[in-house]
Homo-oligomer: A and B are copies of this chain.
Amino acid sequence: MTELKSTSLLSIGECAKRGGVAVSALRFYEERGLITSLRNTGGQRIYPRASLRRIAFVRAAQAVGLSLDEITEALTTLPDSRTPTVADWAKLSANWLPTLDARIAALVALRDNLTSCIGCGCLSLKKCALYNPQDVVALKGNGAQILIAQTKKVNAG
């Protein structure tokens, strides 16, 4: 119920609600350097409205499959000295397109392989996605590894 001001300043609770994240997540993001906050005289966090876009970026980037470390790195390319413009954000987001495309392509390939396997009963064939680990491993390669949670390190041995 805290409106703070009718201006563009938000309390952490308001910011969390509007940003679609938990209050604890905002504190965590700040600790990780993903977002920043100002403080009021009582020491409580206040956020300019522009923070919402930054939060939205973080969430969208997570949906694309980036880790918080990667997102942090991406955010460092934003200007420190001024509020980022639409063009700044667009530039960042454009970087996701190849990743997204790759992720989509990998899933489509898996689906198509499954479909053909199921249709033709070829499950025992080497090229079957179900039988050939390489097909699945390929999904983990450069940029798509998020598809399999906790990818282990590949033992070069």
Residues of A within 8 A of B (CB): 18-22, 25, 52-53, 55-57, 59-60, 62-67, 69-70, 86-87, 89-90, 93-94, 96-97, 100-101, 103-104, 107-108, 110-111, 114-115, 117-118, 121, 123-124, 129-137, 139-140, 142, 145-157
Q: How many copies does the complex hold?
A: 2
Q: Which residues of B contact A156 (CB under 8 A)?
A: 142, 157
Do the beta carbons of B104 and A111 come within 8 Å of each other?
yes
Q: Which residues of B contact A111 (CB under 8 A)?
A: 97, 100-101, 104
Contacts A93-B130, A133-B56 given; indicate if A147 touches B146 (C-beta within 8 A). yes
Do the beta carbons of B121 and A90 come within 8 Å of each other?
yes
